[in-house]
Each structure stands twice: as C-alpha cells, then as structure tokens.
Structure 1
Amino acid sequence: MFYAILAYHVEEAVAALTPEEDAALMTDLLQINERLYRERTLGPAARLGATQDACTLRGPGAGMVIDGPFAETKEQLLGLYVVDCATRDAAIAIARDLRRVNPTAVYEIRPISLYLPGVPFPVTPS
C-alpha cells in the first residue's frame, strides 16, 4: 500500500534557519531518504516552494484560481513523501524517523488510493 507522508511546519521558522542549520537538517533528512531508497520503500519526495507562491483551484466548472494557501492550521504544508509500506504502522514508523530529526514538524500520514508513477523529466531552472 502506498502512503503519503505530508510534512507540516511553521514556514517562518524554517525560513529563519541559517544556511548552516538548513543544510544540517537536510543532511539528516536525506540520510533517512537514502535508507528508504535502499529499502525500496521511498517514492517521490519533495520540498515545496514558499506558500506565498501557491494558488488554489476551486469551484464548479473550470474552477477559479485563488492566490495563496488556505490551510486552516498555523503550520503550512512544506513537503511530502510517498512511501510503499505493507501497513499503516510501517508508514507511521517512517514518519517517526523523520520527526526524530525534525521534531518541530508535523507529519500527516494518508493512504493513497491511486498512485501513477511519473515519467522522468528534466529539472527546470529556478
């Protein structure tokens, strides 16, 4: 079963990290990513861009694009992992590993009812 692990955090706290603190955090998180990759349980993972650059599509028909994120929490969705686990408990264990190195983050674990692997594409320059 595939599970999405959604990483929530207070965006201002992450933005306030020094480059060295951010690099250290990413090093710790990437160690977990590498282990999960070796175990063949890690699917796509992403660190999302700033919420100020987000928009939402909602409404009937073609929908309406609304600027900005509209999370009803003080944390914002800043990243996600897709993992392949036999059980919910296994997905929770991975989220606990992530939280161990990033203890102020909140991780939401959700089953994925449909997963379509993407075709590799070139990274666009930012």
Structure 2
Amino acid sequence: MARYLMSVFGPTEPAEFGPYDSKEEVLQSFADTGAFNDKLQREGYFVFANGLEPATTATTVDGRGDKPVITDGPYLEAKEHLGGFWVIEAPDLDVALALAAQGSKACGNTVEVRPFHTEESFDAMLNGD
C-alpha cells in the first residue's frame, strides 16, 4: 500500500474559535474528526494524525549557510497554513482522495493529498523519467 499525507489547511489569523464560528462547531468538529480517526484505524488506513498549533507559533530554521538563521513565524506569508494532518496507507490515490473527502467533511477544512516518495518515484526522478 502507498503512503499519503493528508494535510488540513486553515486560516492564518487566529480567531476565537479558529476556523469555526462557535464553540459548538469546534466541539462537533472534534467529535466528527475523532470518529473519522476511529474509522481509519478500524479499516487499516491509519498511520498517524495530529493537529498543529497556529502558524504564528512557528519558528523557521535555515541551516544552509555557515550559521543557522532562526526566524520567528512561518516561512511563507499566506492566507492559509497547515493546521493538522493524517498519514495514511491506501491501495491507491482514488482511495486516498475518497478518505480525504471524508476527513475534510469531518474537520470542516480543506485537505490536500500528497503521496510520499517511494523507491520507484525517487529512482524515476534521478533518471529523468
């Protein structure tokens, strides 16, 4: 089975209830997301999942030079940032996309799906395929 990252995106600017309009919506999203996580585990897709603190808590590290450059805040300025994620294993992209649609509905945010590198995809990149 292939491994996929399902990234959850939400607004950059922290609000009282994050991307939700009320405390009740937050609690419902947590319940729905918990039920989705349970489904992923039951059906054998679940590898790992977690939510992230707001992008404003990020620290960016650039260690490419002689001395690391450490900067408070996210690297990119954007209207949305990564807010959480799932790592799943699925037989193919179609299954991963169907699960992402269910996850998006559960958490109330958009979800991006990206496959992890495989030995084959890495070899193809090195060979210019």
TM-score, with structure 1 as normaliser: 0.78
Tell me, yes or no, if structure 1 residue 15 matches structure 2 residue 18. yes
Between Structure 1 and Structure 2, whose CA radius of gyration is higher? 2
Aligned counterpart for 1:109 among listed residues 90, 95, 113: 113
1:20 partner letter:
E
Paired residues for 1:11-50 under 5 Å: 11=12, 12=14, 14-15=17-18, 17=20, 18-50=22-54
1:42 partner letter:
F
Q: Which residue of 2 aligns with 1:56?
A: 60
SS of the equivalent of 1:5 reads: strand
Deviation at 1:80, TM superposition (A): 0.6
**Matches of 1:16 and 1:82, distance apart in 2:** 22
**Matches of 1:97 and 1:65, distance apart in 2:** 37
**Matches of 2:5 and 2:26, distance apart in 1:** 23
Deviation at 1:2, TM superposition (A): 0.5
Paired residues for 1:64-83 under 5 Å: 64-83=69-88
TM-score, with structure 2 as normaliser: 0.76
Tell me, yes or no, if structure 1 residue 98 matches structure 2 residue 103. yes
Q: 1:49 to 1:36 in 2, by over 3 A?
A: same
Unaligned runs of 5+ in 1: 115-126
1:101 partner letter:
A
**Matches of 2:107 and 2:49, distance apart in 1:** 16
Unaligned runs of 5+ in 2: 119-129
SS of the equivalent of 2:56 reads: helix
Sequence identity (%):
27
* Root mean square deviation of aligned Cα: 2.0
1:15 partner letter:
G
